[in-house]
Chains A and B, each alone.
Chain A
Amino acid sequence: MAENVNKKDLAKNVPEGNDKAASKEESLKKQQRANLIRTLLPIIGLVAVALIFNILTKGGMWNSRNLILNQVYVVLISATGVFFIMTMGGLDFSQGSIMGIASIVVCILSKTNIFLAVIGGIAAGAAIGAFNGFFYVNRKIKSFIVTICTMFLFRGLIKYIASNSPVAASMEVFNYDLPALKFGITAAVLLIGFIAFRYTKFGMYLKAIGAGEKAAKFAGIRTDRMKFLIYVLAGAITGLAAFINIVKNGSATANVGNQLETQILIALVLGGMPISGGAKVRFENIIVGALLYTVLNNGLTMMGMTTQAMQLIQGVIFLIFVAVFADRQSLQVIK
């Protein structure tokens, strides 16, 4: 009986083989198309939004491009650190407060020495990052809980220091408000970040932790150390961004850096970043996302939208992007 079956099966196998190959190719193409859409959607979105607003404002947006670029730097730099955090599956809501504290430090130290102010800002950011990292890694508390706590904690400190009067920087900082310098720092951070992420172990390790922390550990990655250091790094990068922020504004108010964490999060998601991190993140997410967010924001403002209406529109767009980029692959297990 068994032999009978085998013969029948052999005969069946020939045409089926071709069939299988053809349909496999077809579905492979389908998958590639879906991937292409995922990759292109943020870029198409950016171009479309830029075009629409330029038409609606009759070119007004293009004319104020320097103003827009000026806003993009801070988000771009600090989003790089958060990008690393999110790649390994964490979140950071304390970015705004890190920006605030680092800005205050930059202002105070700028009166002594500008170089010292830059270093001080980075150190202050790194210190808060280490604080986050300690509670996240050593005390094993979920990152979004830890960072929400530090967000309130340091926001409180900022209000205590800067409520009565803003902390002013030395007038000297305005000498550094050069487009070339700001662009240079931003480009340098992005370039180093890109190379490290794309062409070294660092990026592979981050993605591995995001996709499966336990398995990453068993593959020899020191996951705890890595997680801690990434929070320190993200803090330090935002500390650097604080310098650019102060160069632009000249002083730190009680609201300095407020809502930066939301801006970064929205920018990254608009750029196509899956919120769970893992293997599907791309470094381009940062740049496209930050630009898209800033263009959208400015466009809506220029259109004369009220803050409430802007928030409503942003919310809708945010939801659409999260829905498109959510990584549902993990639900699919074949046995």
Chain B
Amino acid sequence: MSEIRLQVKNVSKSFGITKALKNVSFNINKGEVHALIGENGSGKSTLTNSLTGIYQKDSGTFILDGEEVHAHNQVEANNMGISIIVQELGTLDGLTVAENIFLGHEERFVRFGIKNTNAMNREANELLKKYGFDRIKANAMIETYNFEDRKLVEIVKATYFGPKIVVIDETTTALSQEGREELYKQMNRIRSEGNTVIFISHDLPEILRMSDTITVLRDGDYIATVKSADMDEDSLKKLMVGREVTGDYYRADYGEPVSGEVVMSVKNVTVPGLIKNVNFDLHRGEILGFGGLSESGMHEIGKACFGASFDREGTVTLADGTAVNDIPTAIRHSIAYTSKDRDNESIILNQSIGDNICLPSLGELENGMHMLSDKKLREFADKNAKIMSTKMNSVDQFVSDLSGGNKQKVVLARWIGKDSDILILDSPTRGIDIGVKQDIYQLMDSMRRQGKSIIMISEELMELIGMCDRIIIMKDGEISNELPRDPDMDENSLISSMV
């Protein structure tokens, strides 16, 4: 049973001044699902990326079945029997499904320098059929499929050749329930074949359910390897955070009446192809949740209310009668927005933390002559970064050096600095660890009590149930249900109106 498959020995890796991995050593066995957990920036992805050749480790060794392996790229890793399914999109546009599946391994179909496309498509179709993904066609271009189906193609790509180790890096957050089940099935199959899955996820119940063994990392340090059967959520959290997670995770109050004062009124809003005829009012001091499947159009609601949708019809009106039709108007009238696509839409990666925080508030920071002073900008950035307790060396550091949770803190610091009254938070805790999550929930609760209004769009039903005064469920671009805050609400009552 516990035959060792992979030995991780003293592996270290730094990025500039950040030490992502510090002398990490542990073993991974054959025939197990081995989970890697830890907060953002704890080094989980860095470790698996070093193993699969996406990064090059600085020192240390990986020993696979008694032999040292050192992959320089993913294809080499594949040849050694190691494959990976990454968090973001791992398939390439402009290639067919079959070409994506066999990327880097085309030589199998090449005779005398000519690729036999038919043979490749035939084999890909057989594989897709074997996995039960018949609806995906091998000769179709990959971009004709949605995110979910492309992830399924990636699953085929990473597992068809029976690798000894498959790394699954936070893939489940991007998948719907159906896609997750598909992935779980493959994980169980790999385990039953005596091979190993390294599973990275932020979803602790999922970790406990799916894995045999769990290794915890914190700030690049190895903390512990434990048996899943011996653990529960709280003991895992304690290991990850390094302290007891105390107090209420979500907000604790129930039955508090919400003000009748409408701060934003959304009427007949339609965005062609995404949402149809959406109507709702947002009240003062209210947290209004939007839930649904990823493709339900709920993410577009946030953009529509922020004036960021292309081709929007209908009206978004504020209490003073202002119509919100573009982003500058929205920001001027104290609306804040954080996007699900944090790295592209919420934050400028290749810019300093300070500039990112100051950007929307420059109008208020300039003096009567429209001049900005470095000192004032710095103080403003420092103050707001500190309020969010952002982990950083200084505000001059580039955002690209930060972990996901800290990036989100910078985004929130920006809007706290702007003192926005209406916050539209799309997936505010996506890919963020518990410690920071709890900070964000507490921040939302205190904003609510200050009379600020929040629209929270999320794929995590538990946080909607825990945080919102009211939850609107979206389905196929339309509002399908609306539920008030209720301590007895459970996920199933929401799911039934989602699908």
Contact = CB atoms under 8 A, between A and B. Distances in A.
A205 B363 CA distance: 11
Given A2-B235, A200-B372, A329-B398, A334 B15 contact: yes
B18 interface: yes
B17 A31 contact: yes
- Interface size classification for chain A: 35 or more
A201 B366 contact: yes
A177 interface: no
A2 B226 CA distance: 8
Given A2-B224, A334-B401, A334-B403, A215 B239 contact: no
Interface in B331-364: 331-332, 337, 339, 343-352, 355, 358-360, 362-363
Interface stretch (A20-28, A65-73, A144-152, A292-300): A20-28
Given A5-B223, A212-B351, A327-B350, A204 B359 contact: yes
Interface string B419-442: 000000000000000000000000
Q: From DSSP, what is the main secondary structure of chain A's interface residues?
A: helix
A28 B19 CA distance: 12
Contacts of B352: 279
Contacts of B221: 9, 12, 16
A333 interface: yes
Contact of B17 (A27, A212, A215, A327): A27
A14 interface: no
Nearest to A218: B345
Contacts of B46: 334-335
A199 B372 contact: yes
A307 interface: no
A105 interface: no
A2 B17 contact: no
Q: From DSSP, what is the main secondary structure of chain B's interface residues?
A: mixed
A33 interface: no
Interface string A2-20: 1001100100100010001
Nearest to B341: A214
B323 interface: no
- Interface size classification for chain B: 35 or more
A109 interface: no
Contacts of B363: 201
B18 A334 contact: yes
B224 A334 contact: no
Given A1-B230, A31-B16, A31-B17, A204 B224 contact: no
A216 interface: yes
B16 A27 contact: yes
A208 interface: yes
Q: Which among A1, A207, A220 has the greatest number of chain B C-beta atoms within 10 A?
A: A220
A251 B435 CA distance: 71
Contact of B239 (A5, A30, A207, A216): A5
Nearest to B414: A219
Contacts of A335: 40-41, 44-46, 87, 403-404
A227 B462 CA distance: 43
Given A9-B242, A330-B400, A335-B403, A212 B349 contact: yes
A217 B327 contact: yes
A200 B370 contact: yes
A12 B221 CA distance: 10
Given A20-B19, A200-B372, A334-B20, A2 B400 contact: no
Interface in A186-236: 195, 199-201, 204-205, 207-208, 211-212, 214-222
Interface of B: 14-20, 40-41, 44-46, 87, 218, 221, 223-224, 226, 230-231, 235, 238-239, 242, 306, 308, 327-328, 330-332, 337, 339, 343-352, 355, 358-360, 362-363, 366, 370-373, 393, 398, 400-404, 414
Interface of A: 1-2, 5-6, 9, 12, 16, 20, 23-24, 27-28, 30-31, 195, 199-201, 204-205, 207-208, 211-212, 214-222, 278-279, 327, 329-330, 332-335
Sorted nearest first, the 7 A-B pairs with minimum C-beta distance are A212-B348, A27-B17, A220-B331, A5-B224, A335-B45, A279-B351, A219-B359
